[in-house]
Amino acid sequence: MANIYRILSLLLSYPSADLQAARAEVETALAGDALTRAIDKKRIAPLIAAISDTDLYDAQERYVLLFDRTRSLSLHLFEHVHGESRDRGQAMVDLAAHYEEAGFNIAARELPDYLPLFLEFLSTRDPVEAAELLEQTGPILSVLRQRLDKRGSVYANAFWVLEALMKHPVNSAAIQPLLEQDEDDPTDLASLDKIWEDEAVTFLGNSGDAACGPDRLRTALRAQQRSVHHRPAAGEQ
């Protein structure tokens, strides 16, 4: 039986040729998942198509503009609640320890709070535990969904499904502080430069490779390889 968390983890990852080539496999797995509602399968289908039918370069550019160059849409969960504070480092340590205790191993360079990684972890848990853990991120996921909806992004569909997987609706009072945060513009290069200058927070007792710095560096390098002036057409995000 397919696992919806694993499917969403793949679709929210950086687009690759392998992911595009796996379209038929992903669609088959989704169709065969008896635990996913028909309405949610219909929501995921356009995202699969948008990733697979788009030129790989353009799919990657769209992803970078949304998630790597926009802090308000970051797929690193603790970015939205801890920012660059030292509390984020401790939260990383705690989450990494939770993974380890559950027998879920991650690579040294992977940040524990990266949403696709978190969803991959949930795919290894029983449905009840997975839903409970997912609900802990509910306010963040709801805000991301609303922001993506405002941009007309097909990626919002994945977050609609994630909210549907929760047993309880997200408390509107819990998301208000997050909604009040400013939304940054991925084409505002001056603001982006300021982000790169922010102090990196280290975790897991290391400095350098295991810090938030390398994540920013990977983002900067990916963005450098693409035109900063390219913007997706309306409705194509």
> What is the domain partition of the chain in residue ranges?
4-224
Q: Which fold has domain 4-224?
A: TorD-like (1.10.3480)
pLDDT grade, residue 56 (50/70/90)? very high
Residues of the chain with pLDDT > 90, as a percent, come to: 45
Three-state secondary-structure class, residue 76: strand
Whether 4 and 35 have beta carbons less than 8 Å apart is answered as yes
- Its sign, for the CA torsion 209, 213, 124, 9, is negative
Structure-token pair, residue 157: 């569909």
**Position 72 pLDDT exceeds 70:** yes
Q: For the residues 183-206, what does the mean pLDDT come to?
A: 47
Residues of the chain with pLDDT > 70, as a percent, come to: 68
pLDDT grade, residue 152 (50/70/90)? very high
User: In angstroms, rounded to a whole number, what is the distance separating the alpha carbons of residues 128 and 177?
Assistant: 28
More reliable by pLDDT, 201 or 50: 50
- The helix/strand count (H/E) of the chain reads as 14, 0
User: In angstroms, rounded to a whole number, what is the distance separating the alpha carbons of residues 223 and 230?
Assistant: 11
Q: For the residues 140-148, what does the mean pLDDT come to?
A: 92
Q: For the residues 93-114, what does the mean pLDDT come to?
A: 85
User: In angstroms, rounded to a whole number, what is the distance separating the alpha carbons of residues 137 and 80?
Assistant: 10
Which of these, 77, 70, 139, 74, lies nearest to 112 by C-alpha position?
77
Three-state secondary-structure class, residue 170: coil
Q: Output the pLDDT for position 228.
A: 34
Q: Output the pLDDT for position 59.
A: 96
Question: 216 φ, ψ to 5°?
Answer: -65, -40
- Its sign, for the CA torsion 25, 52, 43, 177, is positive
Report CA-CA distances (Å) from 231 to 64, 139, 182, 227, 237.
11, 28, 20, 9, 9
pTM for the whole structure: 0.74
Q: Output the pLDDT for position 197.
A: 52
Within its chain, how far is the Cα of 233 from the centroid?
22
User: In angstroms, rounded to a whole number, what is the distance separating the alpha carbons of residues 96 and 206?
Assistant: 13
